[in-house]
Amino acid sequence: MFKKLQRPKTIRNDHQKQRGIDMSMVHRIKCGIANCYIVSDGVSGILIDTGTSLYLNTIIDACKSYKIKLIILTHAHFDHIENAAALSEVFRVPIGMHKDDVDLIQSFASQSMSAKAFLGKIILSATKISSKRKMREFAPFVLLEDGDDLTGYGITAKIIGLPGHTKGSIGIDIDKKAVIVGDALMNIFYPTVSLLYNDEKMMLNSAKKITELGERTVYFGHGKPLKNRVWVKEDV
């Protein structure tokens, strides 16, 4: 069944320690309007999100140059997880995600979802339609929490909790230089806080948390990467 992420074992050798994060790379895989990512030291890699079935071969091809050791799901919405079961089999690796999103694997309706602004309502309508498609179910083997260290999988990075878009949304902070935020922020039409949310207050707090990380390149679940900034303007 499930297990919590164990602290690093013996995956990272002395040569990797000397190279450190300078050798870590973020490879963006464009899957329509969604993104998947490979975070790698040049040899080992972690796949972040899995896109929809239309892009299964695109993702497999992108991963061929790396030894994938783990699949991480930033959250359990359909456009980020449809290929999870298939890719776990292809690469023979476990799937990791936060426990609070496990219910979404079976039903999008298990968590309420509200929309911010007119564009958010359009996205929500499209999401509800696409989420009705039949998807291969899976069970995550690794349950991830805020602060979990990923060096045991070959990269210098930590999990950060970013709830709000969904209850179990997470991000990956890569050695204080880059952060993959899933849909905690969006850059579909313009860079902004998430246009969809299960809990607006938590979503805004997560956006503030990203700002507080300081100088980072922000990699979105949707859209091109940008430099970190103030995402929520405080009332004067």
Residue 131 has pLDDT above 70, yes or no: yes
First and final C-alpha spacing in the chain: 49
Mean pLDDT of 103-113: 90
pTM: 0.89
pLDDT tens for residues 34-90?
999 999 998 899 999 999 999 999 999 999 999 999 999 999 999 999 999 999 999
Whether pLDDT at 10 is above 90 = no
Delineate the domains of the chain, giving CATH numbers in brackets. Answer: 3-100+112-226 (3.60.15.10)
Name the band, by pLDDT with cuts 50, 70 and 90, for residue 118: confident
Residues 134-186 pLDDT 10s: 889 999 999 999 999 999 998 999 999 999 999 999 999 999 999 999 999 99
pLDDT digits (tens, 9 = 90+) for 172-201: 999 999 999 999 999 998 999 999 999 999
Q: 223 or 122, which is more confident? A: 223
Query: For tokens 């309502």, what's the residue?
Result: 121
Confidence class for position 19, pLDDT limits 50, 70, 90: very low
Separation of alpha carbons 221 and 171, rounded Å: 10
